[in-house]
Amino acid sequence: MNTLRSDFQKGRTLLDYFYYWERQQPRKVYLRQPEGDRYRDYTWHEVGKQARVLATYLNSLGLPPKSNIGLLSKNCAHWIIADLAILLSGHVSVPFYPTLTAGQLRQVLDHSDCSVLFVGKLDNWPDMKAGVPPTVHCIAFPPQTGEATPPDAAPWNDILEHYEPMTDNPEPHSEDLFTIIYTSGTTGNPKGVKMPYKAMISAIDATLPQMRIDVPNPRFFSYLPLCHVAERNLVEALSLITGGTVYFVESTTTFARNLAAARPTHFLGVPRIWIKFQQHILRIVPQKTLDWLLAIPLVSNLIKRSLRMTLGLNNARLILTSAAPTPVPLIEWFRRLGISIQEAYGLTENLGVVSVMPANAIKDGTVGLPYPGIQMRFDPVTGELLTRSDWTMRGYFREPDMTTTTLDIDGWLHTGDVGSLDKDGYLTITGRLKKSYQTTQADYAGPTEIETGFVENTT
């Protein structure tokens, strides 16, 4: 079981936890990268060595202190190593969605003032590279099978060969910027959410009681974009806290095989994933047959265990759904199979940490109970949810007016979501503030209603 020694002082930053596990279990596998039919394993020692060499290289570039460094890649072991290297070098990590168009990439690179960009596992780099200004220095991840190293980029392996690893353990100040997280841009241009180290640790402290860190040898499966706050919290941050192992997906076609190999103890899903899981199960066992089997006491548990094994979730002790509303009937359907899905709610602007459904007190139709340490109130006129916490963003990068609109002088974050608390303290989100769309029937519906209707009609 991975446990922090009693003499370990609670980390002030994620780097403190990284230093701890690097020292305590250097030979234990931290990252597992699938490569066809085999895995490339990276121990804590190897992750540390590569990140420290890359940090030395970054420091050799003569960048101003606390520069913004971009990270553009699908999920892979090198993503986390690069992220650690950025932090070790004292700079600010700025990850981007790997699905951006060239124009979108140019916009966020210009806006973020990134002078260095890590370029990794991508589906369409030949098209995307037009969005990289010539002034941006690129560092290329080692090429995957069939991939070519981006020209004019510093090759990762060459850096490892020619530079020495950093030997000291930098200690950033808790108020220093840890990362700038760009939103997906659903409601306009992506906004850069500024988060200091202190915010991440405060959010982790608030969520740990619900995160099942008591599980022996935690395993995480990384497939949702690591640039998204939810995946970064559950996979990168929690693996650093627990000293667990991260398994990565290789591609969409290998998803099922990779998940079955990982058999994670912690799993984060989104509605489209639960729909795909449901469709997969119903292809194996039609609904009428499934209903009949689940009604037989001696057979029911065997069927449930078999289906959890089929999905790769038989070892999962924490199963979360987030990022979009998950229809209650879908959650109930999985509960019949012994798969208890806990809904979580939050925004990028508060690190995705507002509320979570407690495993032992589920109340369907809500997004659970507020985490300890978060304050919330509702606008008496509009019903908008406002939150305040130690992990609220510092503001939007280079957007003072937008920051003032979203984050008031007293530290209240205007979420843009409308909701309420019931008598038991459970939070319900009912829609978005002032955001509605005209339907073909000339009625108006909010984004939440549209998302829920779409999901329900897809099942």
pLDDT digits (tens, 9 = 90+) for 376-421: 999 999 999 999 999 999 999 999 999 999 999 999 999 999 999 9
What pLDDT score was predicted for residue 357? 96
Is 267 contained in some domain? Answer: no
DSSP 8-state class, residue 395:
E
Question: Whole-structure pTM over 0.85, yes or no?
Answer: yes
Residue ending a domain, among 181, 216, 246, is 246
Asked if the model's pLDDT at residue 272 lies above 60, the reply is yes
More confident residue, 9 or 37: 37
DSSP 8-state class, residue 129:
G
Is 153 contained in some domain? Answer: yes
Is 367 contained in some domain? Answer: no
Task: Specify whether the backbone of 3 is left (phi greater than 0), alpha (psi in -120 to 50) or beta.
Answer: beta
Q: Sorting pLDDT into bands at 50, 70 and 90, what band is 287?
A: very high
Cα 69 from chain centroid (whole Å): 19
**Stretch 44-69: mean pLDDT:** 98
Is 222 contained in some domain? Answer: yes
Residue 454 sits in a domain whose CATH number is 2.30.38.10
Asked if the model's pLDDT at residue 437 lies above 50, the reply is no
pLDDT digits (tens, 9 = 90+) for 106-150: 999 999 999 999 999 999 898 999 999 999 999 999 987 555 567
Q: Sorting pLDDT into bands at 50, 70 and 90, what band is 152?
A: confident
**Stretch 430-442: mean pLDDT:** 57
Asked if the model's pLDDT at residue 273 lies above 80, the reply is yes
Helix (H) or strand (E) holding 35: strand 29-35
Distances (CA, A) of 218 to 3, 265, 278, 338, 435: 11, 6, 25, 20, 40
What domain count does the chain have? 2
Is 284 contained in some domain? Answer: no
Residue ending a domain, among 203, 224, 246, is 246
The sheet that has 395-396: what strands, in order across it? 154-155, 137-140, 116-119, 68-72, 92-96, 177-182, 192-196, 395-396
Is 273 contained in some domain? Answer: no
Asked if the model's pLDDT at residue 435 lies above 80, the reply is no
**Stretch 281-288: mean pLDDT:** 96
Is 378 contained in some domain? Answer: yes
Asked if the model's pLDDT at residue 245 lies above 80, the reply is yes
Is 270 contained in some domain? Answer: no
CA distance 439 to 446: 10
Distances (CA, A) of 375 to 64, 353, 354: 37, 12, 9
Residue ending a domain, among 246, 277, 293, is 246
pLDDT digits (tens, 9 = 90+) for 157-201: 999 999 999 999 999 999 999 999 998 766 568 999 999 999 999
User: Which amino acid is residue 270, in one-letter code?
Assistant: V
Percent of the chain with pLDDT over 70: 90
| Residue of 122, 34, 35 whose CA lies nearest to 71 | 122
Percent of the chain with pLDDT over 90: 84
Pairing status of strand 266-269 against strand 318-321: parallel
Asked if the model's pLDDT at residue 321 lies above 60, the reply is yes
Residue 215 sits in a domain whose CATH number is 3.40.50.980
**Stretch 244-265: mean pLDDT:** 96
CA distance 87 to 171: 10
DSSP three-state, residue 437: strand
Name the average pLDDT for the chain: 91
What pLDDT score was predicted for residue 11? 67
400: domain range? 373-458
What pLDDT score was predicted for residue 9? 56
